[in-house]
Amino acid sequence: MLLTDLSTGATARVRSISADADAVLRLREMGLRGGALVRLDTVAAGGARVVSIGAARLAVDRATAGLIDVEPS
């Protein structure tokens, strides 16, 4: 499923990201890498997704969140 399909409070593991190479690299640098455990904290204004990875929080715009494939855990 996609990160945009995850419900608030649920956790999932990142499987893959289907964006261009540079965008994927930046997402991985920010912590969204294959295997990372994420928890969906909030759906923000404009549909942006706020996720926790460990103690770190990230906000990802809606379109980009829709490119991130996750596996619920």
Contacts of residue 51, defined as CB under 8 A and 6 or more positions apart, other chains included, come to 3, 32, 38, 39, 40, 41, 57, 58, 60
CB of 44 to other proteins, least distance (A): 4
CB-nearer residue toward other proteins: 7 or 56: 56
Size of the site for other proteins (CB under 8 A): 36
Of 1 and 30, which CB lies nearer to other proteins in the complex structure?
A: 30
Q: Taking CB under 8 A as the criterion, which residues in 6-25 touch other proteins? A: 11, 19, 21-23, 25
For residues 40 and 51, the answer to whether their CB atoms sit within 8 Å is yes
